[in-house]
Copies of this chain bind each other. A is one copy, B any other.
């Protein structure tokens, strides 16, 4: 299923490296990581079933909205990415939450600033419906950041325990 998810993301114009780049930039000032670490962590996030379900559902809604498959008033809400809709943020949050609540801050920051690929996706609204996609991407990147922070925290604690023995 992970392959299907990556394929779906790429078809919408987003690569794993685009996402890894953002996660790398957000964390590099705090913990010693490389872009390769970030790529690996994006992959780990995409292996989680809850994450896959959120992505498959969200991107499918975007696509079906493009094809006018929803009824009104939902169709217009989706097409204009109504700022009071909120279901896109909810789905994205279910991704971020997989690695605990520390990802909330990065999610909100990414969703507000829309750096890199997230901004690109947001700008291409009008051509394609990306109501869910941009939030999902923020969720994936924030989750990868949390995962890296946890891994680094754990390795530091282990180190301390080894030194104490």
Q: Decide if the interface of chain A is mainly helix, strand, loop or mixed.
A: helix
A94 CB contacts on chain B under 8 angstroms? 86-87, 90, 100-101
> At the interface, yes or no: A74 with Cβ under 8 Å from chain B?
yes
Q: How far is the CA of A94 from the CA of B94 in the complex (A)?
A: 11
Smallest CB gap from A55: residue in B = B74
Query: How far apart sit A84 and B77, CA to CA, in the bound complex (Å)?
Result: 29
Check B57 against A87 for contact (C-beta < 8 Å).
yes
Q: Are A153 and B101 in contact (CB under 8 A)?
A: no
Cβ of A150 < 8 Å from any Cβ of B?
yes
Contact of A105 among B4, B77, B89 (CB under 8 A): B89
One of B50, B73, B107, B154 near A104 (C-beta < 8 A): B107
* Given A50-B101, A69-B69, A87-B101; 13 other pairs, CB 8 A cutoff: A49-B153, A54-B87, A57-B61, A60-B74, A64-B64, A84-B153, A89-B101, A90-B90, A93-B101, A97-B97, A108-B108, A108-B109, A109-B111
- Using CB atoms and an 8 Å cutoff, list the residues of chain A in contact with chain B: 1, 4, 30, 49-50, 53-54, 56-57, 60-61, 64, 69-71, 73-74, 77, 83-87, 89-91, 93-94, 97-98, 100-102, 104-113, 149-150, 153-154
